[in-house]
Structure 1
Amino acid sequence: MIVSIKPVTEAGHDLVSLGEVMVRFDPGETRIARTRSFTVWEGGGEYNVARGLRRCFGMKTAIVTALVDNPVGRLVEDLMLQGGVDLRHVLWSKFDSIGRESRNGIYFLERGFGRRGAVGMMDRGHTAISQVKTGEIDWDGIFTHARWFHTGGVMAALSESSTAVVLEAMLAAKRHGVVVSFDANYRPSLWKERGGRRGAVEVNRMLAEHVDVFFGHDGDLSAELGKSSQGPAWHTVESFGEMAQSVIRDFPGLKVLATTMRRVHSASSNDWGAFAYANGAVAEGIRYNNLEIFDRVGGGDSFASGLIYGLLMGRDLKWSLDCGVAHGALAMLTPGDSSMATLAEVDGLMAGDGAGVKRSMAAKQEILNRIREACLVPVLRASSPEKAVRMARAAAEGGVIVMEVTMTVPDAVSVIRTLVKEDPQMLIGAGTVLDPETAKMCIAEGAQFVVSPALNLRTVQYCREMDIAVFPGALTPTEIVTAWQAGADVVKVFPAGAMGGAKYLRSLKAPLPQIEMIPTGGVTVETAQDFLSAGAFGLGVGADLMDERGLEDGGVTAKAREYMQVVKSFRER
């Protein structure tokens, strides 16, 4: 793993961001000085990352910020609620009726087009978040169950106290083993009274000592101002590697350095790509030349959220980088600061086309095809994580290529993580999943399908949104049809043995041939072929195969081979 990330917990957040959230006034296709109406969006560099991870990638995120308790502040709150980010850590300050003591930040931005560049105007002086002091936020409480902390140069630039709060948060995150990322995001207007570019670099260098993943380039960290201080170069793999190595020499604690590449042809046409460096190697992201731009604000933030998503999911650097580039590209094709993209669209753009839904569905269909081909889905239950892993290995030795790890196994999520790492070719699913929160934890660790003994509509909906194959449990015809109509890919018929076994399955398939079913309960070596003949999509096999007593005498492996022979004989009939 590129960075060491704490495991998923039901009570915690995948990512917590610290930063200012403002109201953006968008005049649409006209000009700020000529419009008679505005569309409003919420926006802020650090917040945009949290929102993108929540809305596009389904991760659990929170924002730490401060707002004045007046109608504008409540507008920001309402917009953030739509973004799905947890707001429990928002600090509210009292409104003094005129904004002399504290204000909410607003800004106006008109989109450019062709040779006409974008025009923006900030009104963010003396905002509530810029006045937050160290000691006012319970960072230890926030980071107890968090996995990742993100902030950036915008938050650090707001005031001297903002810089101190950023440092305080980073130190607390480190105490709790939380990954820290920082987007340098230099804004000249924010540093005008604090030393300009040199002042920003001094702060960045101080904070970088506590950062794991840095979004920026050598100009954000170089002690000597030079050409790179004005912006990143258009790198090659070789030049980026040289630059990254020089940065890592100065800041050996950095695990990842990531930089976006943008070549502007016009306001509505950019070349877009990125590079990243980790573990001594450079990854070059996919490149989108002449990308048509609708609204470029937030592209870098969406890049960051995509790359972070990949790393949170345990993907390699190249995949994570491509995910960030694709997500950033999609974010610039819609209005507003935040991404409106779906995971399916990101997946499709990474594949080289715009047919994201088709490509994602194809990936899920491939998993379903492999399960149908394998026929056997052993249901793994064990008294300890160690025995669960041993049983999975024993079954694999007998030819098993699909495994359902039930949540009744102690620390089942870690078992999924271990098996996924050990054998990427084996399909690992999560079983006895009763809610979407558990599904999310398992998917984050690599589970490729989700199984439940009952029907939970929220779990089915979540898996559909994530394009993960889902097999909810049902027993009666009414329950089976309800599960299928809710979006089940396959229905787990449980407990099949108690209802007559293969005869019951055959009676179900007669009026419902369009619904795929996996019988579970009552499946043995002796009954397996009868279930397959009755029309089973696959076989959920429990204690007849996955028995701890078979670990010591080779019984699990031997029984797996028996089942594989039954499957082979059925196919050869």
Structure 2
Amino acid sequence: MARIICIGEAMKRYMSKTGKQSIGGAELNVAVALSSLGWKTTWLSVLPKNDEGMIAAISQTGVESVIIRNDGEVGKYTVIEDEQRVQYQRENSAFALMDPDEINVRTFMQGHEWVHITGITPFLGQGPRALWNRVMIFSELDDIKLSLDINHRSALCSRDELWDVIEPHLRKVHLLTMSKQDLHWIASKEGMLGSEEEICKQIARKWLINRVGCTFKETQTGRLKGWEKRWSIVATPSEVESSRENKILHRPIEHLGSGDAWVAGIIQNEKNADLIAVIQQSTFGDFFLSNNVDCQSAEFKIISRIVNTGIIPIIRSSSRELAEKEAERVVVNGAQCIEFSLDTPDCIQLLGSIKEKEILKGIGTVKKPIKEVLKSYKSGARFFLSPNNPEEFIRECKMFNSLAIPGVSSIEEAEVAVSQGAVCLKLFHSKNDWSIEEMVNIRRLMPEIVLIPVGGVMAEDVETMFEIGMDAVGIGDALQFMDDAELQTLFSK
């Protein structure tokens, strides 16, 4: 089991509108995420003599804490939600007022393979800067791998001031991580040209850094307003890996802490680091806490593809031949995913006959999940819809790292499905059981859940559905009344 020690300040967090409270701190967030990923993690920090609540909360995450006490305060920060900014109160925090001579940091670091720090710490006070410098020195002397997240905070220092502190130490760093803004600033400062991938490689080459990582978030507009696309770059002096062509589309519920979760994934050399960040943003709080990363990653990948295309054509027919022709027609005209209803003859075999790798395939009208999910999964189905929410449906889909989309006809049924682990709901029947007002209401009540109206949806309804916040729509019978040009227009939306 890999061991890492993360050194830095943690604070109490307050939400200005909801009053919610939690704990957060860049270095602690990384420790918590790596603990969830199976690492042995230690967090070294300084807290007030009279504060035990923070330690009690952190102990539940599996992170071991090494705490030095003094007479300072607990640092605080408030998220001003309406203004999308953070307000800090940390000048007199215990961490800022530390005496570095009271912390035998070299001894605490021994026995760890990694140490993680950020560019925040040296600007919290003279004591924190001295401690940060010692971590740099001892990591090199004792051959401990050093992870440094630039993590520029404009309230603490300018980028020039930050660069003056960290640049002389970069040759000691094994992993350097940063934001898009950090990357572009360094490129300008150092006169580096080329693509973002090439610039990451140039940074690794210039300072002989084993790996350089950069994370990107792209805010979406139009029907995808409120969604983001996340991707990243990891470069060595000679090679580069980029997920630019495989961006993860998701709706963030939490806007803080995702970069730290991503850093944890990169430290672990995890190919799913982007998805780890996405999972962290799907719940409130700075911490990444997941005991089933593979399942959640699979769900988010499937959701990303469904929401990105927006339209699920539903193939249903009393004739296998007609169903096969209709499936071929929608694929040729631009469908990126397709659902075969189980009440179509030989539908599982039909699903298996679609060989285009870029098509996401699903099965609908699931009523006997234990039998039907396994059989369909073997033929390539990766998402499953049911007219209701049969017993074991959600659990069975999760067993195969697939997406369950249970049907619900009311908010009460939706709440039950979500309590069972559903992250995506089929609003069925959208014409008979869901009014526009009810759809707007469930969107407001469940901002984190993917909502897909199905049942009686016509092509002319699609724009309205997107305008009220629905994430995708399922269209079945209406397909047969549309010509090829109309299908192309539909799928282009």
Q: Deviations over 1:511-565 (max 9, x none)?
A: xxxxxxxxxxxxxxxxxxxxxxxxxxxxxxxxxxxxxxxxxxxxxxxxxxxxxxx
1:298 is aligned to 2:257: yes
Q: Is the 8 A contact 1:170 1:210 kept in 2?
A: yes
1:39 is aligned to 2:23: no
- The alpha carbon displacement at 1:330 in A equals 0.7
Structure 1 CA distance for aligned equivalents of residues 182 and 229 of structure 2: 22
Structure 2 CA distance for aligned equivalents of residues 207 and 79 of structure 1: 34
Q: Is the 8 A contact 1:256 1:278 kept in 2?
A: yes
- The alpha carbon displacement at 1:264 in A equals 2.0
Q: Deviations over 1:479-504 (max 9, x none)?
A: xxxxxxxxxxxxxxxxxxxxxxxxxx
1:20 is aligned to 2:12: no
* Aligned positions of 1:331-370 closer than 5 A: 331-345=280-294, 348-349=297-298, 352-353=301-302
Give the match's secondary structure for 1:340. Answer: coil
Give the match's secondary structure for 1:261. Answer: strand
Q: Is the 8 A contact 1:241 1:281 kept in 2?
A: no
Structure 1 CA distance for aligned equivalents of residues 114 and 260 of structure 2: 15
Equivalence for 2:273: 324
Q: Is the 8 A contact 1:157 1:190 kept in 2?
A: yes
Equivalence for 2:147: 181
Equivalence for 1:380: none
- The alpha carbon displacement at 1:203 in A equals 1.1
- The alpha carbon displacement at 1:173 in A equals 1.8
CA 58–352 in structure 1, closer or farther in 2 if over 3 Å, else same = same
Structure 2 CA distance for aligned equivalents of residues 178 and 342 of structure 1: 28
- The alpha carbon displacement at 1:246 in A equals 2.8
Q: Is the 8 A contact 1:68 1:93 kept in 2?
A: yes
Equivalence for 1:255: 210
Q: Deviations over 1:26-66 (max 9, x none)?
A: 35xxx2xxx5xx22211000110001111x21211011110
Give the match's secondary structure for 2:272. Answer: helix
Give the length in aligned residue pairs: 302
- The alpha carbon displacement at 1:222 in A equals 8.8
- The alpha carbon displacement at 1:105 in A equals 0.2
1:277 is aligned to 2:235: yes
Q: Deviations over 1:129-179 (max 9, x none)?
A: 122243332233223211110010112221233222112012212222211
- The alpha carbon displacement at 1:214 in A equals 0.1
Structure 2 CA distance for aligned equivalents of residues 209 and 326 of structure 1: 29
Q: Is the 8 A contact 2:119 2:148 kept in 1?
A: yes
CA 285–123 in structure 1, closer or farther in 2 if over 3 Å, else same = same
Structure 1 CA distance for aligned equivalents of residues 13 and 126 of structure 2: 25
- The alpha carbon displacement at 1:83 in A equals 1.7
Q: Is the 8 A contact 1:326 1:350 kept in 2?
A: no
1:241 to 184, 194, 197: 197
Q: Deviations over 1:67-117 (max 9, x none)?
A: 1122xx322112211222101x211113xxxxxxx2210111155xxxx66
CA 225–352 in structure 1, closer or farther in 2 if over 3 Å, else same = closer
1:119 is aligned to 2:97: no
Q: Is the 8 A contact 1:204 1:220 kept in 2?
A: no
For residue 277 of structure 1, what is the amino acid of its counterpart? Answer: A
For residue 134 of structure 2, what is the amino acid of its counterpart? Answer: E
Structure 2 CA distance for aligned equivalents of residues 224 and 332 of structure 1: 27
- The alpha carbon displacement at 1:20 in A equals 0.4
Structure 2 CA distance for aligned equivalents of residues 244 and 224 of structure 1: 10
Structure 1 CA distance for aligned equivalents of residues 203 and 250 of structure 2: 30
Normalized against structure 1, the TM-score is what? 0.48
Equivalence for 1:105: 75
- The alpha carbon displacement at 1:224 in A equals 7.5
CA 227–173 in structure 1, closer or farther in 2 if over 3 Å, else same = closer
Structure 1 CA distance for aligned equivalents of residues 301 and 68 of structure 2: 43
* Aligned positions of 1:404-443 closer than 5 A: none
Q: Is the 8 A contact 1:218 1:228 kept in 2?
A: no
Q: Deviations over 1:193-222 (max 9, x none)?
A: xxx221011112123232110002696489
Give the match's secondary structure for 2:151. Answer: coil
1:77 to 39, 44, 55: 55
For residue 90 of structure 1, what is the amino acid of its counterpart? Answer: I
Mind listing any 5+ residue stretches in structure 2 that lack a counterpart?
305-400, 402-493
Equivalence for 1:493: none
Q: Is the 8 A contact 1:298 1:337 kept in 2?
A: yes
Structure 1 CA distance for aligned equivalents of residues 91 and 226 of structure 2: 31
CA 119–244 in structure 1, closer or farther in 2 if over 3 Å, else same = closer
CA 117–293 in structure 1, closer or farther in 2 if over 3 Å, else same = farther
For residue 74 of structure 1, what is the amino acid of its counterpart? Answer: E
Equivalence for 1:366: none
* Aligned positions of 1:342-491 closer than 5 A: 342-345=291-294, 348-349=297-298, 352-353=301-302
Identity rate, percent = 19
For residue 23 of structure 2, what is the amino acid of its counterpart? Answer: E
Equivalence for 2:70: 93
Structure 1 CA distance for aligned equivalents of residues 203 and 295 of structure 2: 30
Structure 2 CA distance for aligned equivalents of residues 174 and 127 of structure 1: 29
Q: Is the 8 A contact 1:20 1:129 kept in 2?
A: yes
Equivalence for 1:210: 172
Q: Is the 8 A contact 1:173 1:180 kept in 2?
A: yes
2:45 to 39, 62, 65: 65
Structure 1 CA distance for aligned equivalents of residues 149 and 39 of structure 2: 20
Structure 1 CA distance for aligned equivalents of residues 167 and 60 of structure 2: 36
For residue 76 of structure 2, what is the amino acid of its counterpart? Answer: I
Structure 2 CA distance for aligned equivalents of residues 154 and 300 of structure 1: 14
- The alpha carbon displacement at 1:296 in A equals 1.5
Q: Is the 8 A contact 1:64 1:90 kept in 2?
A: yes
* Runs of 4+ in structure 1 over 6 Å off: 221-225
Equivalence for 1:156: 122
Mind listing any 5+ residue stretches in structure 1 that lack a counterpart?
1-7, 95-101, 311-319, 356-466, 468-573
Structure 1 CA distance for aligned equivalents of residues 53 and 203 of structure 2: 41
Q: Deviations over 1:301-358 (max 9, x none)?
A: 0001112123xxxxxxxxx2x3211100110111001113334346743993369xxx
For residue 93 of structure 1, what is the amino acid of its counterpart? Answer: N
Structure 2 CA distance for aligned equivalents of residues 207 and 40 of structure 1: 36
